[in-house]
Amino acid sequence: MIQMQAFYVFLGVAGLLAAVFVYTIASTRRARDLDYHTAYALRRKLLYVLLAVLVVGLGMTLAKTPYPRDKDIPEQVVFVVGKQFSFGISASPITNDDEYLAATYSTPVQVGAGSFVEFRVTSFDVNHGFSVYDPEGHLIAQTQAMPGYVNRLRLRLTQPGRYRVLCLELCGSGHHRMRGVFDVK
């Protein structure tokens, strides 16, 4: 699993940083004269190395972001409204409570596998977190559902199955049961 690999990398980097701190603490126990010119040269080299690592890391990861470019036109639009304590997910706009109830208790919206989908997410009451989980339970995207504002979340969903939507923003006493689903076929 990629999460475990990332965790092991984190542990290695954290251990390395801890070793550097221990070395620094041990090497500064006795007083000695400091050559400021050498210290500043070392500091400058360290800054350049750190910047190079950050630029390389950015270059390696930026192209792998899951979000399409703005010029791409979505093949399907899915409308989402959050309201305590569920999500109304529909293929047509949801503008009032009756449409919200119909979207909440109807059959799940169907999205074509591999299609480029835009979720238009808003809320009728308070802020909610709209988070999309793939059929294996991995978080793949999230945005905020806010009253009076529509956030657009664009995704290309390639894996068929039932996708779950959970709220990631504490929105009240029923937050833990705020869910929704849609199917990718």
Residue 87 contacts residue 177 (beta carbons within 8 Å): no
9 three-state secondary structure: helix
Q: What is the mean pLDDT of residues 59-75?
A: 76
pLDDT of residue 67: 65
- Residue 176, pLDDT > 90, answer no
Question: Residue 7 — left, alpha, or beta (φ > 0 → left; ψ -120 to 50 → alpha)?
Answer: alpha
State the amino acid at position 126 in one-letter form: V
Q: In which element (H, E) is residue 128 found?
A: strand 128-133
36 three-state secondary structure: helix
Query: Domains along the chain?
Result: 2-62 (no CATH), 76-184 (2.60.40.420)
Residue 147 contacts residue 157 (beta carbons within 8 Å): no
User: What pTM value is reported for the model?
Assistant: 0.64
